Amino acid sequence: MTGGVQRDDGASRPLLVADGITKQFGGITALDHVDMEVAAGEAVGVVGPNGAGKTTLFNCLFGLEDPDEGTVVFDGKRIDRLPVWKRSRLGIGRTFQRMELFEGMTVADHLLVAEQAASGTVRIWRDFVHRGGPTPSELHHVEQVLGLLGLSDLAGRPVETLDLGHARLVELGRAMMGTPRLLMLDEPSSGLDADDTGRLARILGETRRTTGVAVVLVEHDLALVESAVDRLYVLNFGKLLASGPVDEVLADPEVRKAYLGSTA
């Protein structure tokens, strides 16, 4: 399924390769031999009607579900048998459609936890010696990301006091800690109004420019998809319907029929 894939000339090997991912729930085939490739620094969208298998694909790539068949290779290393936390430490950050924040913790603590966890050690001895405070570099990175997201003023706020738009940004920020090479965003605009979505798109663009991180975006908001990604995968009933550059794919009559419900 690599035919028609547009890639930067300099890219040596793709960052993420999913090959033949199949997942069944009982008698329902949620994913049917789905292939996917993401190059380093590339932004890829995954769209499709409800129940097309987008989130299941995410979960299979990220390790929340074990695919029945297929392999996932990240940066040349097979990861489809690794637990979630190991995949995360390899450099994959993700957000959730149904938000999963650390209730009771502050915005800054969300980022700090992610930053410290990404480095991969439970520092019980360091806790005893240094009283568990952040190192200057950790603190610096947290402040950097807070600045990028425009959350500096809210750093000390517990997350449950935030509105949905800011809460989604906290989730994004948390996924960005530890300098990941791939961000997986599951419907980040869900529940947001136009202003918040616009801000999200702006921040996403800014993030890609400054960090060169690759992005996989599952999204219903086509405006956001069009502005944020280079290439598009279309899923329908667990099957890959089309893939390629955004405008080409969206012009595909079969895609329009399945996704937009029109044959125009």
Which positions lie near another protein, rule CB under 8 A?
62, 64, 83-85, 88-89, 93-94, 96-106, 108-110, 112-114, 116-118, 120, 122-124, 126-128, 131-134, 139, 142-143, 146, 152, 155-156, 158-160, 164, 167, 171, 174-175, 177-178, 190-191
| Type of residue numbered 26 | G
Strand duo 231-236 + 43-47: pairing: parallel
DSSP strands (E only) in the chain:
16-25, 28-38, 43-47, 69-74, 77-78, 92-94, 182-186, 214-218, 231-236, 239-245
Pick 49 or 158: Cβ nearer another protein: 158
Q: Which backbone phi and psi does 100 adopt, to 5 degrees?
A: -125, 80
Pick 106 or 227: Cβ nearer another protein: 106
Pick 171 or 242: Cβ nearer another protein: 171
Give yes or no for a contact between 122 and 170, defined as CB atoms under 8 angstroms apart: no
Pick 100 or 206: Cβ nearer another protein: 100
Tell me the CA distances in angstroms from 28 to 7, 21, 54, 181, one per residue in order: 34, 14, 15, 33
**Residue 1 belongs to what H/E stretch?**
none
Pick 43 or 167: Cβ nearer another protein: 167
Q: Which residue shows structure tokens 């998809």?
A: 225
Residue 261 beta carbon to another protein: minimum distance, rounded to whole angstroms:
24
d(CA 252, CA 243): 10
Pick 62 or 233: Cβ nearer another protein: 62
Strand duo 69-74 + 43-47: pairing: unpaired
Which of 64, 41, 71, 60 lies closest to 182, judged by CA? 41
Name 43's Cβ contacts closer than 8 Å, sequence gap at least 6. 208, 214, 215, 216, 217, 228, 229, 230, 231
Pick 71 or 190: Cβ nearer another protein: 190
Which of 31, 33, 43 lies closest to 185, judged by CA? 43
